[in-house]
Structure 1
């Protein structure tokens, strides 16, 4: 079916939104769906927070997926809740997925990092660089689940910063994918080829919705990364990166796009249609680049004499947890010509309208001056 024809508003889990998503936020959802979804606590984090595994579907194709390995990357967690809603709703064309697949979902692997809104866990370890040492309880929990269920497919769900663009274009990398390598030569093994084919299916679907805004993440091999390590074990592994959609700093539009991607790829898996797609399509996805600022100010000397020696100012937001909300604090990231860079919001001080508007943005103006 065409997933984009779904009434997404009726599927979206309204109890969880925004950027700050913790185990506390999703517990009411988990309690509500537990009658239809098999749920177990599979362990505890460094600080003793529960880590849950949800199981849905009765098929033979096992799909293991985990989100918020980095605690401040919450968009894919929201998309997973939407996916569960979709699979639980009667009258929707999800029966084939449930009949052919068994989905094993860890919605928040790093609950301490989620609580603190940090990439790292409570021991300040990046769980995505702990695949060999398995030094952290969260890393061991994921590996134990992997070994117990022997998944046929693995979905490694992440988020990426607003600085990423697609290739050399002035388009944000709203969704990016990667088929991780399993060796230094980045060989196309059987499992990696399947990963590429599945990514191609999602990319073609999303291209209809956000043309030019799909990127391919860097595929440098690192055996300490979980995706690379699972690919080394011959499990087709797909990395998802939820990025920026114009004006969508809460990542609600990106959430919807990730939901569509998840439904599409699961339908392809259920129907065993991955061979309908080519690795050439995967390699045709432009690589990510890092050319975006949240705010780009050109001809800065016209704004204030203090910038007499600065042609342009590139500002990126620092995401800060204040109370229970994420606030976006501007920070000057780079100054100079910056002619190859882009801004999600751009002010050209040589243009009267831009200059006047910038001066009206009092918080930003006062920060600069």
Structure 2
């Protein structure tokens, strides 16, 4: 897929990290008649939960985004995907002919409004798959049972701390074929999830080589992906992560879009079995080796620190007046070896010290 093509279908009305239901309502209202938009339930705080149904094919795909309200990158990518599926591109026509797709752009509208992971009752919906104590969890399960999808896509964001394997590459996109038992055995349906991930990884390597990771597959029956996998539905977890300098996740949304388009294309053409399950385990695991800012040899910046110590700073995303602001938080001080910084200062270099002094908030943390 060319960059030029993406620039045409990218939905320009929705940008940044703070994406709420009212932001996308206008977009949904303008969708063509064959993209059916309906309200499928209401949240704890009585916000509408909406779903788009499109396509007329036999293979059924269900996807949902912002199960965690502060994870909006995949929502933006889903809107880009809907734009693509309105074109006369051969792949778009093939997908609509061979698939029926249901998309819930924002499953947790209260969490989206408050920019929190949890819903208004402070429940993590991705740990409520079995008990279904929350209305949003019930909505998703009702759609699942009524639709009986052949594939499920569980769309999330992950933090900036993740890298790929033992490399300094950020985990810009990560995937998981969730386990359906403690043994993490590979059933037929989990194998299909793995094959789809192999297909998407091969495509993404053309754009972000070395920046695709594999999420931890520890089994938890309370997680929605594990639950749907237990019900024999191939389910894929998507995790939108960090791309260099892209704290608004505008580049990452493109890579999620590329992955979504590829997955749907493979499913529509019935090519899932063309991909080797074994290549799934060749995708490196995620590791948590990144700080947003890493400051090395900080004793040269402030003598109260010991020689050889470094400081690791993480950004805390904070909603202020409808805008997500990145607040610095001193996470670690010590001999930090084998770690990386999205921005790195080494106080052995005078130029780095001078540059560091411009970061007033970071300096205040160190003083």
Q: Check conservation: 2:62, 2:153, Cα contact below 8 A.
A: yes
| Aligned-partner Cα distance in 2 for 1:116–1:148 | 30
Within 5 Å, give how 1:158-169 maps onto structure 2: 158-169=156-167
- Indicate how the Cα distance of structure 1 residues 6 and 56 shifts in structure 2: closer, same or farther if over 3 A, else same: farther
Within 5 Å, give how 1:142-157 maps onto structure 2: 142-157=140-155
- Between 1:350-359 and 1:286-295, the stretch displaced more is 350-359
Partner of 1:332 in structure 2? 330
TM-score norm. by structure 1 comes to 0.97
Unaligned runs of 5+ in 2: none
Partner-residue secondary structure (3-state), 1:94 = helix
Unaligned runs of 5+ in 1: none
Question: Which residue of the other structure, out of 311, 316, 322, is the alignment partner of 1:313?
Answer: 311
| Aligned-partner Cα distance in 1 for 2:91–2:3 | 11
The Cα of 1:356 is off from its aligned counterpart by 1.1
The Cα of 1:7 is off from its aligned counterpart by 1.1
Within 5 Å, give how 1:1-369 maps onto structure 2: 3-4=1-2, 7-91=5-89, 93-308=91-306, 311-369=309-367
| Aligned-partner Cα distance in 1 for 2:116–2:37 | 26
The Cα of 1:306 is off from its aligned counterpart by 3.0
| Aligned-partner Cα distance in 1 for 2:243–2:126 | 25
The Cα of 1:196 is off from its aligned counterpart by 0.3
Aligned length: 367
TM-score norm. by structure 2 comes to 0.98
Where in structure 1 do 4 or more consecutive aligned residues deviate above 3 Å? 90-93
Partner-residue secondary structure (3-state), 2:85 = helix
- Between 1:25-34 and 1:293-302, the stretch displaced more is 25-34
| Aligned-partner Cα distance in 2 for 1:335–1:359 | 18
The Cα of 1:34 is off from its aligned counterpart by 4.9
| Aligned-partner Cα distance in 2 for 1:206–1:161 | 19
